[in-house]
Chain A
Amino acid sequence: MPLQPSMKLISVDDHLIEHPKVWTDRLPQKYLERGPRIVDEPSPSGGLPIQVWYYEGKRFPAIGLNAVAGKKPEEFGVEPVRYADMIPGCYDPKARLVDMDLDGVYGAANFPSFPRFAGGLFTKESEDFDLAFACVQAYNDYVIDEWCSTAPYRFIPLIILPLWDPDLCVVEIQRCAAKGAKGITFPENTVPLGLPSIYTDHWEKVFSIAEETDMPLCMHFGSSGSPPTTAPEAPYAVTIALYGTNSMSATAHLLFSPVFHRHPKLKVALSEGGVGWVPYLLERIDGTWERHRWYQNVVKDVRPSDLFHKHIYGCFIDDVAGLKARYDIGIGNMTWECDYPHSDSYWPHSRRYAEKVFADIPDDEVHQIVELNSRKLFNFYDEPVG
């Protein structure tokens, strides 16, 4: 049994649902009306009221969705979900720990939901950026002081940034690092959010402070706000099948950029993109670099795949191709994810499922993938004994 009982599963990609008072409990009085708040509205179908977020007078429907369980696939549908419909582990950290125990999962890094996976909502949807910054700080205080403090050696605090202002990002990273933050959510690509690219100097201070505080940039699939689509008429199945291509784009984007050359200690974690594509893409990127670097604005003396192996981590739930290619990917660059509480997670038998996934992998490699690499990535270690 390669997944030994002593190995602690650490998921680098789970999610939390912010409870209704995350912002109303923390924002100054003057912002309460315009800050994020949950409003009950009559249901169009005549059932229980639906619950929606409002922010700066804008309505953001659906705190989550429920793929209607028990239906035949041909009758499949979705409906908005209320807090009372969710299992409490979605929004209550104590209940989450119980669910993790049942699932055989020890530790987890959780991405935000309402602010979007890298907090982009406060950049894209705000008009008052003083309010927006207060909202970012309130979220980070909630994650560190309320969610993760429930079990500091099991929850990995991931923060969001005021992406519209790099100087404010620096201030917020420093503030949160002092409070115990371990990772920084960051868009897989900043350009679709209307922000300067990583090829400019715009993000230099942000990347420097991430290095200095030893926190990885965690780039979740979809955090750029631009999922892969092929045609307006194409079913969303195309997008689902192509999720990993956003991580591929982010990888090529990073490896040809000046980022890792200027920031030799920066770490990047790609979330929910799988890893099976890595060997092909690195071969392709290296080949491009070999032939075409001489006449382009590309660093000439460092092979991109070397940068990948030094700086970038991928993750997966089940990726047969990736596990077969693990030596080409780099065992040290692979981490495990669970994706709780999204319904495509294997809860409550993630550990049992992982035993099957890792059945043919040597013990020491499994240990690296499910636990040790994540601990190194996030500088996240158990409570000292004694």
Chain B
Amino acid sequence: MASGRDIDASDWTERDLLTRELAAERLAADAAETLAELTALQTAAAPDADAVAQLQRRLNALRATRANVEAGR
């Protein structure tokens, strides 16, 4: 049995945008995931230097983008 009503603008999926707030949340989550991967790689017996460098670069980019997104609020 359905309960309640649709919210106004229930077609939001066609118009819902990435806001600064949502983007910052996603960037933080991605950075945490990337940091965990990076830590695991760095503590491996024989770390893959290229893979470490690539992940570090991505982590830096995620953090920089998050800072920019939050600074614009």
| A interface list, Cβ under 8 A from B | 17, 62, 64-67, 69-70, 76-78, 81, 84-90, 98-99, 101-102, 113, 222, 227, 235-236, 239-240, 340-345, 347-349
Contact = CB atoms under 8 A, between A and B. Distances in A.
Given A98-B65, A342-B18, A344-B13, 7 more contacts: A64-B15, A65-B16, A66-B22, A67-B12, A236-B11, A341-B17, A343-B17
Interface in B3-39: 6-23, 25-27, 30
B62 A66 contact: no
Contact of A70 (B6, B25, B62): B25
A76 B18 contact: no
B20 A65 contact: no
Given A235-B6, A343-B22, A348 B62 contact: yes
Contacts of B62: 102, 348
A90 B17 contact: yes
B69 interface: yes
Nearest to A220: B14
Nearest to B54: A5
A62 B9 contact: yes
6 closest residue pairs by CB, A with B: A236-B10, A64-B17, A69-B22, A343-B16, A341-B18, A87-B23
Nearest to B58: A102
B44 interface: no
A343 B18 contact: yes
Contacts of B2: 235
B9 A65 contact: yes
B67 interface: no
Contacts of A76: 7
B18 A340 contact: yes
Which residue, B14, B25, B62, has most C-beta atoms of chain A within 10 A?
Answer: B14
B4 to A, nearest CB: 9
A87 B16 contact: no
A78 B26 contact: no
A102 B16 CA distance: 21
A319 to B, nearest CB: 17
A86 B21 CA distance: 9
A66 B19 contact: yes
Which residue, B6, B12, B69, has most C-beta atoms of chain A within 10 A?
Answer: B12
A349 B22 contact: no
Nearest to A88: B72
Which residue, A67, A76, A344, A345, has most C-beta atoms of chain B within 10 A?
Answer: A67
B61 interface: yes
A99 B64 CA distance: 11
B53 to A, nearest CB: 14
Nearest to B66: A348
A69 B19 contact: yes
Contacts of B8: 78
A98 B67 CA distance: 14
B7 A87 contact: no
B30 A65 contact: no
Contacts of B23: 87, 347-348
Contacts of B10: 235-236
A349 B17 contact: no
Contacts of A85: 19-21
B26 A347 contact: yes
A69 B25 contact: yes
B30 A67 contact: no
25 contacts: A17-B17, A62-B9, A62-B15, A66-B19, A67-B12, A69-B22, A69-B25, A78-B7, A86-B19, A88-B72, A90-B17, A222-B14, A227-B11, A236-B10, A342-B13, A342-B15, A342-B17, A342-B18, A343-B16, A343-B22, A344-B13, A347-B23, A347-B26, A348-B27, A348-B62
